[in-house]
Structure 1
């Protein structure tokens, strides 16, 4: 693979969304390069669910199988590295990597995901994706009817409570400080027998990522099996910003229904452009991005 080669498309991010886009483009006879660091955000999640044909499989196994299928197409090349910068050129786009390589493509797809900003709470990061969960559709069935908590406040807490009570009635809300719920929301939670605990949290005890107790600053404890939370996020990759791609109010890349960003020639798919963080959704948006980008390229060339 020569650095001087001009690819039709460079896909930055080679997890579910990126591989899905690569398969679509590779089958459309596009010369595609995938650049991926090999560190997906769900790497410590034990099982993936709610993805037909793959339900209960490990994320790593799904990705390994997908990568093997995609790289069976000689139109797709995989380069393990970290893309660190990008710039517009007369040919399209130039991407530089951490190892010092430079690659050029006519078009770009960012499938770079997002970075979860873990709260400064002992035990949180170790449990994230194992027993601290973000999505009941992905993981709720496995902890149904268990003693479950929500670590959130305000509207986010209220949304989670209304949703998760469908999976368990043993539900407690932990606001980790003074509640910011409205009186109407508080009354509604009480009517549904959801307790609000405002005590400050000192730490989360666990065994290999599986929660045991919430320990509060006043030394009291609360035993539970699962905890739903939605940490703050930021874009995992700075390059879309360098190239002028706009973010929406959620901090996600702004895309249209065809996964086009606000910069001509750049598409985005997966978690970096959608709040629906699920493997199935990443695969779907990757498929859309690949197909719509190929369609745009055929229109340009015709």
Structure 2
């Protein structure tokens, strides 16, 4: 028998749990469906989140889940949503285990998937010593001999932020550099070297970078690295339902988390370039409150 909810939240990490808490506190009947694979599962510690600075990400989500499920109208299912379709004004969600649920409103808090380069050792270091965000990790990596594995504007952006944290920066473009003359002058002014050789391996110890190996078998020693890697949506369901994406590949939402499709919302990393636990919690809380207001208008 198909179980009905007011809201189904697909994705039960920080944004999804935060949305569920806001809804649960207004006694909304909510189902969270989560596959248990957050994108930061390899990250050792979470930072730049007031009251939780330096806490392990898994600890934060575990506490959050326990607190959210204290609200008896909120249910949690460890499963994977594989298909969603709209029938009249209702959305039906099918899961990998063969269950089907329906709701008036859907929230996608599904995050994004980093498409890591096929460089030996890169994935083992990702989120540990090869990171994406100076705000999340930069303070802990301050003063270290740092590589920026990126090219063009992405490398310039990272270099400008990291330059305030360490004076030892080398940009490894993993191929021919695409900087214009002005950018090269800017980098030289800050004593930032450019290495245009392709990378074949990152030598590390338990995820802590030690050296970068290039195709000519030369190596450079580093203590930290930033990587600008492309991403795709973790779930293709929003796009299959007609939700528009931005030019950058994020789900296009307005200030209330509303997508281009009626009664479908998104929050967290899937719809914001600001990838942090604090931002995900904030956006989720706001979306949950806004959906409750929408339900109130419809029912009162």
Q: TM-score, normalised by structure 1?
A: 0.98
1:54 equivalent to 2:34? Answer no
* 1:35 Cα deviation from its structure 2 partner: 0.1
Question: Which residue does the alignment assign to 2:297?
Answer: 299
Which of 74, 80, 83 is the equivalent residue of 1:82? 80
The yes-or-no answer on 1:211 pairing with 2:209 is yes
- What number of residue pairs does the alignment pair up? 300
| Residue equivalent to 1:146 | 144
The alpha-carbon deviation at position 89 of structure 1 amounts to 1.4
Once the 2 structures are TM-superposed, how far is the Cα of residue 270 of structure 1 from its aligned partner?
Answer: 0.3
- Tell me the residue number matched to 1:264: 262
Q: Is the 8 A contact 2:136 2:276 kept in 1?
A: yes
Task: Name the residue aligned to 1:44.
Answer: 42
**Alpha-carbon distance, 1:5 to partner:** 2.2
8 Å CA contact 1:83, 1:95 repeated in 2: yes
1:21 equivalent among 19, 22, 28: 19
Q: How does 1:221-236 map to 2 (within 5 A)?
A: 221-236=219-234
Q: Is contact 2:3-2:100 (8 Å) kept?
A: no
Equivalence map 1:113-192=2 (5 Å): 113-192=111-190
C-alpha separation in 1, matches of 2:279 and 2:75: 24
Contact 2:155 2:228 in 1 (8 A): no
Give the unaligned 5+ runs of structure 2: none
| Runs of at least 4 residues off by over 3 Å | none
Say what the alpha-carbon RMSD is for the aligned residues. 0.7
Q: CA deviation at 1:200?
A: 1.2
For normalisation by structure 2, the TM-score amounts to 0.99
Separation in 1, partners of 2:141, 2:272: 25
Could you tell me whether the CA contact under 8 Å between 2:203 and 2:213 is conserved in 1? yes
Q: Deviations over 1:165-205 (max 9, x none)?
A: 00101111011111101110001100110001111111100
Q: CA deviation at 1:238?
A: 1.2
- Alignment match, 2:66: 68
1:72-127 CA-partner distances (Å, limit 9, x unpaired): 00010000000000000134100000000000001000000001111111011110
How far 1:299 sits from its partner (Å)?
A: 1.3
Distance 1:91 1:251 in 2: 27
State the shift of 1:4 in Å: 2.0
SS of the counterpart of 2:138?
helix
Partner SS for 1:144: coil
Matched, 1:198 2:235: no
1:105 paired residue among 103, 114, 128? 103
CA distance in 1, matches of 2:241, 2:177: 40
Kept in 2: contact 1:91–1:104 (CA 8 A): no
